[in-house]
Amino acid sequence: MPAEDDFTVTPYAVEGDIDYDRLLDKFGADALTAEQKAKFPDPGHPLVRRDVFYAERDVDPFLDAANEGKPHSIVTGRGPSGPMHIGHIFPFYFAKYLQDQTGTLVYIPFSDDEKYFLKDKSLGEISDYTRENLLDLLAVGFDPERTRIIVDTADADVVYPLATAFAKEVTQSTVDATYGEPENIGLSFYPAVQATHLLLPQLVEGRHPTLVPIAVDQDPHVRVCRDIAAKQRYDVAKPGALLSKFLPSLEGPGKMSSSDDAPSILLSDDRETVFDKIRTHAYSGGQTSLKEHREQGGNPEVDVSYQFLYYFFEESDEQVERLAREYQQGSLLSGELKEMAAENIANFLEAHQERRRALGPLEEELEQYRLTESERQDARRRAGYPDNSLVQQ
């Protein structure tokens, strides 16, 4: 059993060789069962089938509502501190899959305020990244009738009143114990803003099951929000969570990040750049020589090219199983596996980029996804603000 401090997983730091099973015990979450996976709508998504989403909190009410045609929603957000890479985008394509299959209501909060508190970047830089990230999210192709995008600073008229209400439910000691001592009072307050994000669909639409599909490092936000919801001062259900493993860095197992020195495959990368990054940087699970690889085979568990295909970029289960088998046998070479991964990723990015180029001006595109004035009033009212509140004027 590894020592307790062999790895760190928090919303603000991921370090070390992560033991995902131990995280379940540490965070108090449950493994996603075969029965639960079978309740996801057909065709089942690879992220669920292959245990990339491997743990959960109260996922059953969401799945029951989705299968019965009852109201249900997903919240999956973005912190705009840099350009988006492939590790950022797959939760949004997963949300679109659910929306396409079951009519899921999708809420996408942009925490531009948190990124300003957290990163050494100017307000102007955060604003520029917000605009670019928004275009990438719009390129996913969500249904405007079933999707709402909220930018904290642009939608402060609804975010701040709700966060004010929820902030009174969270003590500083809870923040310190959950996140560590905050670097500034903005981060100290941010859990109340995050709770606003996660409860907003219910405050707009009324009580219903909400699911938050996130990487496991973001689970503390869900736990704090669930504590707020459990106090029953608001007519909301505790949001459920679907927790994922990390898409690995090109340099090997671990979290892909755009904020460190490890190379990332950006959503803006062209085909040549994708192939160059994969060929040059993708960590290989193969042997050091062709002869040894033919004799001993490779290890798909650590091979980054295989992991990219397994996580998201190869739809066919039969294909990923065949690739793993042939790689272990030594008949499939590391270079061949890299070419397959690069081809699939480049194809995906070209389709995404084409949809992005087809968008109109951001302000016009975004308008159809913003909360309406009646939705804003409903949210404030359900949070306890009277109809004659000045915030509505």
More confident residue, 139 or 234: 139
Distance CA 242, CA 388 (A): 38
What is the average pLDDT value for the chain, to the nearest integer? 90
Three-class SS state of 316: coil
pLDDT in tens, 265-281: 999 999 999 999 999 99
Q: What does the pLDDT average to over 359-365?
A: 97
Query: Does 299 score more than 90 pLDDT?
Result: yes
One fold for 19-245 and 271-357: no
Residue 281 C-alpha from the chain's centroid: 24
- pLDDT > 50? residue 1: no
* pLDDT, position 43: 80
pLDDT of 392: 54
Rounded Cα distance between 133 and 120, Å, is: 18
Tokens standing for 77? 């957000």
Confidence class for position 9, pLDDT limits 50, 70, 90: low
**pLDDT (0 to 100) of residue 219:** 87
Q: Cα separation of 73 and 284, whole Å?
A: 39
Q: Given this model, what pLDDT does residue 81 score?
A: 92
User: Angle formed by the axes of helices 86-102 and 334-357, to 10°?
Assistant: 60
pLDDT for 259 beyond 50:
no
Which residues have CB under 8 Å from 329's CB, separation 6+?
297
pLDDT value for 2: 42
Each residue of 229-249: pLDDT tens digit? 998 788 999 999 999 988 888
Compute the distance between CA of residue 248 and CA of residue 283 in angstroms, rounded to an integer. 10
Under CATH, what is the fold of the domain 271-357?
Tyrosyl-Transfer RNA Synthetase (1.10.240)
DSSP code for 246: P
CATH number of 19-245: 3.40.50.620
Higher model confidence: residue 201 or residue 390? 201
Label residue 38 by pLDDT band (50, 70, 90): very high
DSSP string, 335-390: HHHHHHHHHHHHHHHHHHHHHHHT---HHHHHHTTSPPHHHHHHHHHHTT--TT-G
Task: Give the residue extent of every domain in the chain.
Answer: 19-245, 271-357
Greatest mean pLDDT among 39-53, 139-153, 162-176: 139-153
* H-state helical runs in 152-230: 156-167, 172-179, 185-205, 219-230
DSSP 13: E
- Output the pLDDT for position 160: 95
